[in-house]
């Protein structure tokens, strides 16, 4: 069975920055594979494009430029805000505003998103709203472990059920 839309795909991969010899970002080797429904928009489009037509046992090795992955780094997404907006009961919780912390935030319309603490001053904080992998070229190596038909419930829910997937 080949990888095509509406198939459940299971892959083991190693992700490095830029090239196969780049800095290790993450790897599923020795752990659970990545399991997803192909063609429903849950993965980076170029990741799927490179797996399209493969079958169980096939090896892969490909790069994705930053612009086609998580985008280029956008300096305008680094925003300075008043430090006091993080106060709870007149005090900023200990450890909250540490550089590198990811903060769950909500805008005035109730939309949820995350920002990373990039800089902390006396009265202001810089929050980085870029994806943590923005500006990074990606390189994937790995193999396709399995390919199967997605069942109707998985397609309706938009995610894989069972091993490697979502458990209700």
Identify the CATH number of the domain in which residue 24 sits: 3.10.50.40
> Are residues 65 and 140 located together in one domain of the fold?
yes
Q: What is the CATH number of the domain that holds 98?
A: 2.40.10.330
Residue 9, classified by CB atoms within 10 Å of its CB into exposed (0-12), middle (13-18) or buried (19+), is: buried
Look up the domain containing 40 and give its range.
Answer: 7-70+133-157
Q: Do residues 125 and 98 lie in contact, with contact meaning Cβ atoms separated by under 8 Å? A: no
Neighbouring CB atoms inside 10 A of 69's CB total 20
pTM here?
Answer: 0.83
Average pLDDT, the chain: 94
Q: Give per-residue pLDDT as tens, 116-161.
A: 999 999 999 999 999 999 999 999 999 999 999 999 999 999 989 8
Model confidence pLDDT, tens digit, residues 67-102 = 999 999 999 999 999 999 999 998 999 999 999 999
Residue 104 covered by a domain? yes
Q: Are 41 and 84 within one domain?
A: no
Is residue 118 in a domain?
yes
Q: Which two tokens stand for residue 87?
A: 């106060």
164: pLDDT strictly greater than 70: no
Does the residue 166 lie in any domain? no
* Confidence (pLDDT) at 101: 95
Would you state the pLDDT for residue 161? 87
Count CB neighbours of 111 within 10 A. Answer: 8
| Separation CA 71–CA 62 (nearest Å) | 17
Retrieve residue 71's tokens: 């985008």
Average pLDDT for 13-29: 97
Domain count, the chain: 2
Residues 103 and 58 in one domain: no
Q: What is the tens place of the pLDDT at every residue in 38-65?
A: 999 999 999 999 999 999 999 999 999 9
Same-domain check for residues 55 and 13: yes
């Amino acid at each position: 069975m080949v990888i095509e839309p509406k198939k459940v795909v299971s892959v083991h991969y190693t992700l490095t920055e830029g090239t196969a010899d780049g800095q290790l970002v993450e790897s599923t080797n020795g752990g659970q594979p990545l399991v997803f429904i192909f063609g429903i928009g849950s993965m980076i489009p170029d990741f799927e494009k490179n797996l399209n037509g493969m079958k169980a046992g096939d090896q892969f090795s490909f790069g994705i430029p930053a612009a086609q992955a998580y985008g280029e780094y956008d300096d305008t997404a680094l925003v300075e805000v008043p430090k006091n907006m993080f106060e709870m009961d007149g005090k900023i919780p200990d450890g909250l505003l540490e550089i590198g912390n990811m903060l769950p935030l909500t805008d005035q319309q109730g939309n949820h998103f995350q920002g990373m603490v990039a800089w902390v001053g006396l009265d202001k904080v810089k929050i980085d709203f870029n994806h943590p992998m923005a500006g990074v070229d990606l390189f994937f190596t790995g193999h396709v472990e399995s390919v199967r038909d997605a069942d109707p419930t998985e397609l309706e829910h938009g995610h894989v059920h069972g091993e490697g997937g979502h458990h209700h």
